Structure formats: C-alpha cells, structure tokens
C-alpha cells in the first residue's frame, strides 16, 4: 500500500491494491519474445491508418461556415447568443453579471460602448430563465435592466432582472464544467519525463540497452526545476501532461524492430501502488503538483489502464483478471498476430507477449484498476488524466472512473477533473463515441493533425481542402474539449514533414524506417516557419492545444524512439529561435483573446495557399490569415477596415492583406 504522509485530498477511497511481492520468474528476457513497437502501440500500425477519415464533409471551401448546422449536444450544454444592452449615463465602465454562467456573478462580461448604448453578446443557457444586472464603474453601483420590467428580489434589498427562457436555431455547445478553471483555456505541454530534464543524478539508472531505448535520467526533480525557472510560464503553457507515474519494470523488452527497450516511456507498469524510481518519490510527485499549482499550472498524468507488465504482482496473483493470451483457435492473442487490433479482438488482445491485457468485464479487475487511478488522484491532487489506448479497453472502465470522479473527487475539489483520451485513428465517429459526459471530456484530434500536416506543413492539395475539413470538424465533437496537436511521441517530429522536401510522403507515417538513423535538423529557416504556421492554426482555434516537448524548438527525430531525444535546452539555430519566439507570442495572444479559445470559427476565404478565418465570441472578433506558399500571397475575405497584427504590431487594412512567404497574421479590428 502507498504511504500517504500528506495526502492532498482526504478522499475516502476503498482500495483493493494488491500487496507487492517478488515474482522474479517473470523478469527474464525469455518472456519478451515478439515485440511491441517499443512500447505503446500504435495499434493500427500498418493497418487501417493509412489514414483517411471517411466522414470528412466535402464542403465548398471558402464559402464560409457552410451548412453543417450546430453541433449536437445535450440541452444542458446548449447556449443561445443574446445581446444585453444598457443606455449610457456617462458611465466609465459597465459589466454584465448574472447566472448565465457558473461564475457569472463574479466574473462579469465586459460591455462595450456603442454610441449611446453599452452592449455585450453572450451565451445564455438553453430554455432557462437568466437573472442578471449591471455592474457600474467597477462596482460603484449595481443596477437592474431599466428596459426589462421582469425582475425579482435579489436578496440584498435590490432587484435582479430576469430574461425569460429562450431557445434558438443556432446554438453553441458549452462544456458546462464546474470550477473556476475553464478547460477550453488550457494549453497542454507533454513532458516526456525521462527525456526532459535531469534534476537528480542519484535516481539515474540505465539498464544497458542502446541509449535511445534506455533510461536517460529525466525526472520529477527536473520538471520542478523547470517550473521554478519559469520555463512554462514564459512559454505560456498552463497544463502539463506527465508520463505515467506508476513504477515500471526494470526489465527490457524486444521491440518489433528487433531492438531491446527499457520502460523509460512508462507504459510497462509493474507495481501499481509505487512511483517509478527513475522519476522520483511520491513526496516529490506531490511537491511537483503543488509547485505547478502555485504557478497556475494544471497537471495531467498519463494513465495506461489497458495492461500490466508480465512481471506485475497483480498479474501473478490474479491471472483471472486478465484475458488469456489465447485466440481460442490454437494460437496466441497478440494484437496483429493471433488476434486483430480492432473491434472486440482489439479490446482483449495483448500488445506484446509480455503485456497481459486486463479483462475489464471482470468486476474485480475493474475495481482494482479504477481504484488505482482514484488512489493516484487522492495521493497527488492531480487535475486530470491523459488516458492511453482508449479503444482497447472495455467501456465500463471509463464509465466507472467518470462516475467515481464525479461522485468522490469533484465535490471535494470544486473543480472539474479533465480526462482526454488517445484513440489513434482517422475515424471521427470512433473518436467521438467516447466524448460524452459519462466518459471523456475530449480526445486528441488525430484527424485534424493529419489534415493540417498534409495541407499546411507538407503542402499537398490546397489550403481550401483544409478549410473544408475544418468546417466539418469544428463541431464534430459537440461540447467536447478536444486536444489539438501537431506532434506527439508516436509520430515523427513535425519538423521533418516541414522540410523543403518532406522526409516522408504520408502524414500518417510512423517514421520507424529511419528511427535508428539519427536524422538531422534542417539547416534552413523555412521548415521552422512552416511549423510556426502549424502552431498558428492550433493556437488560434478552439480546443486544448498540445505542445509535444521540444516541438516548440522544432527538435529533430524520426519515429519512436528517435522522436523522444533528450530535450534541447541551448544552442538553438536561427530557425529554432524564430519558432520558439512565435510559440511564446501566440500563447500570450491566446491568453488575452477569449475569442481564440472559446469562440466560433468561420472560414472567410481559402484558396491553394491561403486560409482566412474569423474567431468570434459574442460581439468580439479576431481574424487569422495564413500563407503556406514560398512566395507572397494576397488573402481576402476580411471585413473592410483597419487591423492590428497581434504577432508583429503592424497595422494592416482589409478586406485583403498581403502575406509574406510562410507567414501568418492574427488580426484585431482597430
């Protein structure tokens, strides 16, 4: 059992953690016959992820927001736009306050003076009366709406105005989560702990496999050092995704490429109730979460619930909690061998012969695993999970975890516990299946990543194709908060797709063919400018954008494990400096412009090389224009008038703007 000296949460959790014991007979290399692909598993490797989503709506690019209609979501999440107004009486400032939002009485909506009238447009709950009033001059006075006779006692001797319940044809979907933090405001950074920063040499411990596949020393002390130093604050990141913290096996395992691997990635859990000793102690992990919170940074743990390592005591003691590695036809049930990666087979198959697969149709197995996840929340005060390999587990695991989090964690913290899943596929419907209030808040948007890599980064097809894809993708996941990204640990570093000649022809490549060739960083600036455009896209559109460690400086690397090189902390090239500066600036802009995080996106124009869209929230609009070409292009579709480019400070005039080669602008009307 875990020792919990300073448990940040006093949750009453009933646990069924097994007692640790030595099971040495499983820790031999003999148990690592055939192989994973080094670790997790790109399930569909070589299979159906040649890529394409069959559900892309082929809209008419460039003609605006198309005819998709509003996103589907529960009535409780629907919001209708409503304009509130107040005649001016020489006020200095006016805010709308009320119960239109969970925090609406404290965090009002700033109103703008339009001639003689103060106005603001905001989303009001579906078919629900709204109480509101106006806060004058920062709190000098509070007045009800003089143009609305409908009012009630406010409990303080005054009146609240009441807006009658309304519905609408064109609603928005609001996640409606509890707490002060709105997860649509998150910018996530994936700290691949072993490869990030070595803050404590005393816990280093390579096991003797080739260096790229061995432990390299990164740890929680190193992450804390970087939080302390202000690296994430400066970068503009407010959420960290950390590698799985559970103790992993010390053994090596063979990968599909024939190389031996260590468990540096964290996906081979052995002792579920202990921390990984290469990363640090529970006390350090608690301190890390606490330090992050002091910097207003949220923390997500990676949690891999699909399997245990064959050396895990839980497997030795409860073999019936796992699917047998037997396909019932005289063969094994390793994924892609005796069993298929997809469908029912895909939920019970073993990723490798040494990763026994939990059978979560067994209630005791499920209680153990969900209880373990809950215990990590209780022990650390973590804010959410990144959940691995979602389509390979039984749905009931997700339903159970969400139910327990809602019942036991959120009432104590008063904050929403965010869960984002990984389903590596181009199938939007399969991804969306898990995005609902009973399972996941969102998933990684693989279809968007692939489309933007293909069109914007690799320069295939036309930018109008990307616009059409996004017109159909924007509302696909309803009230879900998807995580948008351009890189992660399972695909080659994005910089190589941005080279003048992309290193691979397919955006879906796993890049394993060059994974041991130590490919180098391009020496010209153009590829970094292209990656910068990718960041412009994900940092000016809705979702919780993910930055994979090192992508902010365009680090080099082919497929796994080459895409997990140790973080480069100094000696940046001109291109790397340019990219880092761009990402920092974009994050600062995103933080200041709610329309970029929570607004609705509308395509204004798109052609072969350019893409222009509007992000609007209430009466507020921000415009983005991108040129992927290696030459100047003119992009149109903007409303006429004067704009400031928030990236450079330059003043530009609509309706058309000239964009230099491989540049973007983020425009606010002047």
Three-class SS state of 495:
helix
Q: Which is nearer to Ca ion, 60 or 204 (CB)?
A: 204
Q: How far apart are the first and last CA of the chain?
A: 60
In terms of Cβ atoms closer than 10 Å to its own Cβ (0-12, 13-18, 19+), residue 306 is: buried
For residue 500, the number of C-alpha atoms closer than 13 Å in the C-beta half-sphere is 6
Q: Which is nearer to Ca ion, 280 or 637 (CB)?
A: 280
Q: Provide the minimum distance between the beta carbon of 320 and Ca ion in the complex, in angstroms, as a whole number.
A: 15
* Edge-first strand listing for the sheet containing 188-191: 442-443, 418-421, 384-387, 298-303, 239-242, 188-191, 546-548
Q: Provide the minimum distance between the beta carbon of 327 and Ca ion in the complex, in angstroms, as a whole number.
A: 14
Q: CA 614, CA 621: separation in Å to the nearest integer?
A: 7
Q: Provide the minimum distance between the beta carbon of 244 and Ca ion in the complex, in angstroms, as a whole number.
A: 11
Q: Provide the minimum distance between the beta carbon of 172 and Ca ion in the complex, in angstroms, as a whole number.
A: 36
Q: How many CB atoms lie within 10 A of CB 630?
A: 14
Three-class SS state of 386:
strand
**157 alpha carbon, distance to own chain's centre:** 46
Q: Which is nearer to Ca ion, 221 or 482 (CB)?
A: 221
Q: Which is nearer to Ca ion, 127 or 204 (CB)?
A: 204
Beta-strand (E) ranges in 408-518? 418-421, 442-443
Q: Provide the minimum distance between the beta carbon of 393 and Ca ion in the complex, in angstroms, as a whole number.
A: 5
Q: Provide the minimum distance between the beta carbon of 250 and Ca ion in the complex, in angstroms, as a whole number.
A: 5
Q: Which is nearer to Ca ion, 245 or 559 (CB)?
A: 245
Q: Which is nearer to Ca ion, 248 or 260 (CB)?
A: 248
Q: Which is nearer to Ca ion, 278 or 449 (CB)?
A: 278
Q: φ, ψ for residue 654 (rounded to 5)?
A: -85, 175
Q: Which is nearer to Ca ion, 203 or 610 (CB)?
A: 203
Measuring CA to CA, which residue among 318, 345, 314 is closest to residue 331?
Answer: 345
Q: Which is nearer to Ca ion, 219 or 510 (CB)?
A: 219
**Residue 188's beta-bridge partner residues?**
239, 546
Q: Provide the minimum distance between the beta carbon of 272 and Ca ion in the complex, in angstroms, as a whole number.
A: 12
DSSP 214: S
Using an 8 Å Cβ cutoff, are 419 and 298 in contact? no
Q: Which is nearer to Ca ion, 133 or 366 (CB)?
A: 366
Q: Provide the minimum distance between the beta carbon of 16 and Ca ion in the complex, in angstroms, as a whole number.
A: 19
Cα-trace Rg, the chain? 26
Q: Provide the minimum distance between the beta carbon of 183 and Ca ion in the complex, in angstroms, as a whole number.
A: 27
Helix (H) or strand (E) holding 595, with range, is: helix 594-598
**Residue 269's beta-bridge partner residues?**
248
Q: Which is nearer to Ca ion, 277 or 630 (CB)?
A: 277
Q: How many CB atoms lie within 10 A of CB 26?
A: 20
Residue given tokens 């291109």 in the structure block: 575
Q: Where along the sequence are the contacts to Ca ion (CB under 5 A)? A: 198, 200, 203-204, 217, 219, 247-248, 276, 306, 347, 357, 392
Q: Which is nearer to Ca ion, 347 or 633 (CB)?
A: 347
In terms of Cβ atoms closer than 10 Å to its own Cβ (0-12, 13-18, 19+), residue 146 is: exposed
Q: Provide the minimum distance between the beta carbon of 280 and Ca ion in the complex, in angstroms, as a whole number.
A: 8
Beta-strand (E) ranges in 192-331? 239-242, 246-248, 253-254, 260-261, 269-275, 298-303
Q: Which residues of 185-194 are buried (b: 16+ CB within 10 A; e: fewer)?
A: bbbbbbbbbb
Q: Provide the minimum distance between the beta carbon of 297 and Ca ion in the complex, in angstroms, as a whole number.
A: 21
Q: Provide the minimum distance between the beta carbon of 491 and Ca ion in the complex, in angstroms, as a whole number.
A: 22
Q: CA 498, CA 302: separation in Å to the nearest integer?
A: 28
For residue 96, the number of C-alpha atoms closer than 13 Å in the C-beta half-sphere is 28
In terms of Cβ atoms closer than 10 Å to its own Cβ (0-12, 13-18, 19+), residue 342 is: buried
Beta-strand (E) ranges in 155-257? 159-163, 172-173, 188-191, 239-242, 246-248, 253-254
Tokens matching residue 595: 């329309």
Q: CA 201, CA 373: separation in Å to the nearest integer?
A: 29
Q: Provide the minimum distance between the beta carbon of 43 and Ca ion in the complex, in angstroms, as a whole number.
A: 10
Q: Which is nearer to Ca ion, 392 or 489 (CB)?
A: 392
Q: Which is nearer to Ca ion, 303 or 476 (CB)?
A: 303
Q: Provide the minimum distance between the beta carbon of 385 and Ca ion in the complex, in angstroms, as a whole number.
A: 17
* CA angle, 191 then 192 then 194, to 5°: 125
Tokens matching residue 74: 């529960």
């Amino acid at each position: 059992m875990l020792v919990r000296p300073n448990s940040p949460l006093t949750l009453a959790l009933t646990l069924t953690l097994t007692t640790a014991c030595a099971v040495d007979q499983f820790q031999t290399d003999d148990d690592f016959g055939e192989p994973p692909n080094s670790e997790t598993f790109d399930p569909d490797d070589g299979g159906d992820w040649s890529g394409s989503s069959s559900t892309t709506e082929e809209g008419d690019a460039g003609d605006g927001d198309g005819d998709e209609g509003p996103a589907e979501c529960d009535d409780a999440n629907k919001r209708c736009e409503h304009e509130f107004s107040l005649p001016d009486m020489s006020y200095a400032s006016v805010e709308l306050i009320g119960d239109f939002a969970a925090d609406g009485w404290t965090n009002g909506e700033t109103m703008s003076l339009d001639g003689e009238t103060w106005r603001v447009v905001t989303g009001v709950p579906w078919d629900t009366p709204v109480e509101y009033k106006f806060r004058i001059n920062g709190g000098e006075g509070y007045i009800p709406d003089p143009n609305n006779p409908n009012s009630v006692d406010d409990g303080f001797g005054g009146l609240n105005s009441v807006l009658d319940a309304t519905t609408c044809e064109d609603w928005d979907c609001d996640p409606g989560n509890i707490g002060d933090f709105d997860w649509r405001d998150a910018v996530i950074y994936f700290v691949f702990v072993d490869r990030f920063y070595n803050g404590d040499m005393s816990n280093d411990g390579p096991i003797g496999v080739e260096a790229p596949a061995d432990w390299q020393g990164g740890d929680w002390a190193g992450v804390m050092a970087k939080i302390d130093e202000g690296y994430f604050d400066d970068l503009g990141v407010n959420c960290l995704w950390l590698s799985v913290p559970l103790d992993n096996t010390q053994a090596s395992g063979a990968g599909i490429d024939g190389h031996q691997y260590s468990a540096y990635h964290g996906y081979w859990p052995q002792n579920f109730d202990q921390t990984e000793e290469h990363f640090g102690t529970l006390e350090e992990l608690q301190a890390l979460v606490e330090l992050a919170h002091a910097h207003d940074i949220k923390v997500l743990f990676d949690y891999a619930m699909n399997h245990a390592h064959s050396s895990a005591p839980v497997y030795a003691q409860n073999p019936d909690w796992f699917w047998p590695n037997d396909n019932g036809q005289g063969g094994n049930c390793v994924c892609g061998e005796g069993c298929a990666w997809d469908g029912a087979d895909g939920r019970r198959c073993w990723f490798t012969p040494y990763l026994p697969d939990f059978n979560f149709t067994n209630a005791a197995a499920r209680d153990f695993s969900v209880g373990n996840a809950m215990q990590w929340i209780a022990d650390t005060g973590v804010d959410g999970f990144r959940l691995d390999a979602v389509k390979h587990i039984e749905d009931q695991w997700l339903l159970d975890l969400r139910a327990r989090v809602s019942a036991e964690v959120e009432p104590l913290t008063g904050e929403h516990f965010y869960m984002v899943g990984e389903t590596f596929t181009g199938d939007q419907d399969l991804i969306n299946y898990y995005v609902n209030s009973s399972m996941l808040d969102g998933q990684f948007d693989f279809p968007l990543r692939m489309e933007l890599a293909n069109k914007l980064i690799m320069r295939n097809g036309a930018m109008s194709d990307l616009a059409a894809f996004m017109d159909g993708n924007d509302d696909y996941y309803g009230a879900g908060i998807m995580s948008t990204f351009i890189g992660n640990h399972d695909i080659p570093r994005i910089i190589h797709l941005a080279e003048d000649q992309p290193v691979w022809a397919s955006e879906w490549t796993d890049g394993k063919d060059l994974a041991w060739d130590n490919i180098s960083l391009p020496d010209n600036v153009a590829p970094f400018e292209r990656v910068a455009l990718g960041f412009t896209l994900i940092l000016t559109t809705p979702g919780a954008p993910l930055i994979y460690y090192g992508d902010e400086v365009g680090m080099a690397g082919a497929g796994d494990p080459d895409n997990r090189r140790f973080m480069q902390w100094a000696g940046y090239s001109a291109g790397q400096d340019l990219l880092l500066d761009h990402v920092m600036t974009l994050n600062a802009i995103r933080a200041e412009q709610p329309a970029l995080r929570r607004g609705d996106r509308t395509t204004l124009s798109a052609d072969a090389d350019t893409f222009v869209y509007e992000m609007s929230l209430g009466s507020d609009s921000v415009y983005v224009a991108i040129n992927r070409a290696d030459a100047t292009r003119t992009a149109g579709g903007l409303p006429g008038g004067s704009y400031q480019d928030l990236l450079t400070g330059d003043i530009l005039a609509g309706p058309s703007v000239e964009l230099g080669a491989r540049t973007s602008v983020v425009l606010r009307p002047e």
